[in-house]
Amino acid sequence: MIYLCLAIMRMFLARKIRNSKQARMERGRMNQADQTGKTGKVIQANQEGVSPDEVLKEIKERPTRRWNWARRVLLALLAVVLVALAGMGVWLADYYHADGVYDRVAQQAVSLEVAQNKSEIVVGDRKAQTGIVFYPGAKVDPAAYMPLMLRLAKQGYYCVIVKMPVNLAVLKAGAADSVIARHRSVSRWWIAGHSMGGAMAAQYASKHTDQLQGVILLAAYSTQDISRTKLAVLTIYGSKDGVLNRAHLAKYKKNLPVTSQQTVEIPGGNHARFGDYGLQKAMVRLPSPGLISKARQQRQSSDSFASIR
């Protein structure tokens, strides 16, 4: 909507400028004919019984009416853009929080590195040779995935959770480049992601197959074809996911390597419990009986990864 409004405004202004240039070129000729034209209109008005003053007034008001119309259009478009921007700001500000998770994991991570800066959160074994770059789900606090990363770190991995712009991995699918460049002590890398983050992780993997060992997709699928690569791919989802499009999951399975991919369905697992950020809005109306705990779902996820690496 915003881009459409801006495009319309740009087209309108470009036309206005073009017309203005043409008007300046013709103004000289028009000025010479102006008085003659006005005189002709006055004579015609006299013949028709119309007051000459009314004719001259109407001629003077024409440019003003055109400008008033153009100004109203511009103001209306500006109002639409401002409303759209305000709505987008509200939508982006409403994300899933992970209050207190960072401090809790930091206390539990005995002998492990836990640190963060403006671009990432690290939970890892300082001696690890294998790392995992993790892309969070859409509008989810990256700290929400620290409990799962802690389990993987205890298995000997160096895990880096990327802090995405406005919590949307789609805006920075290439973020793994800078992670790999910064942590040069890690010699082998996997990339993982949850939901939209998983889709973006697969997109990155499709363009950097020589830099990665494999891909972990949590409640996600790859729309990019990586079937002919040597990447190992692990897909994990819960039987009570409630958000994942199962039809798309089945449709895009053909994009994964046949011999080096594994799919795990966690009985009683749902979409949100790969992280620690509460209930997903799309799942509020779904029946909850049979759900397993976050700890159990995350433990089964980390155990599944141990079986494929």
- The whole-chain average pLDDT of the chain stands at 83
* Residue 241 identity: D
- Tell me what pLDDT residue 43 has: 47
Give burial (CB, 10 Å; 0-12/13-18/19+) of 202: buried
**CA atoms of 213 and 202, how far apart (whole Å):** 12
CA 262 to chain centre: 28
Residues 112, 174, 192, 229, Cα dihedral to 10°: -130
Instruction: Indicate if the pLDDT at residue 33 is higher than 50.
Output: no
pLDDT tens sequence across 195-252: 999 999 999 999 999 999 999 999 999 999 999 999 999 999 999 999 999 999 999 9
Task: Work out the pLDDT band at 280, boundaries 50, 70, 90.
Answer: confident
Q: Which residue has the higher pLDDT, 4 or 190?
A: 190
Cβ pair 213, 231 in contact under 8 A: yes
Tokens matching residue 70: 């153009």
pLDDT of residue 93: 61
Q: What pLDDT, on a 0 to 100 scale, did the predictor assign at position 14? A: 57
Proportion of the chain above pLDDT 90, given as a percent: 61
Q: Give the β-pairing of 130-135 and 113-116.
A: unpaired
3-state secondary structure of 272: helix
Annotated domain spans of the chain: 111-307
Of residues 256 and 70, more confidence is placed in 256
Q: 106: buried, middle or exposed (CB in 10 Å: 19+, 13-18, 0-12)?
A: middle
The pLDDT confidence band at residue 269, using thresholds 50, 70 and 90, is very high
* CATH architecture observed for domain 111-307: 3-Layer(aba) Sandwich (3.40)
Measured distance CA(33)–CA(247) in Å, rounded = 71
Is pLDDT of 17 > 70? no
Helices marked H in the chain: 2-48, 52-93, 101-108, 146-154, 176-182, 196-207, 246-251, 294-308
Confirm if 160 and 179 have CB atoms less than 8 A apart.
Answer: yes
What is the C-alpha separation between 175 and 207, in angstroms, rounded? 13
Residue bearing the bigger pLDDT, 289 or 148: 148
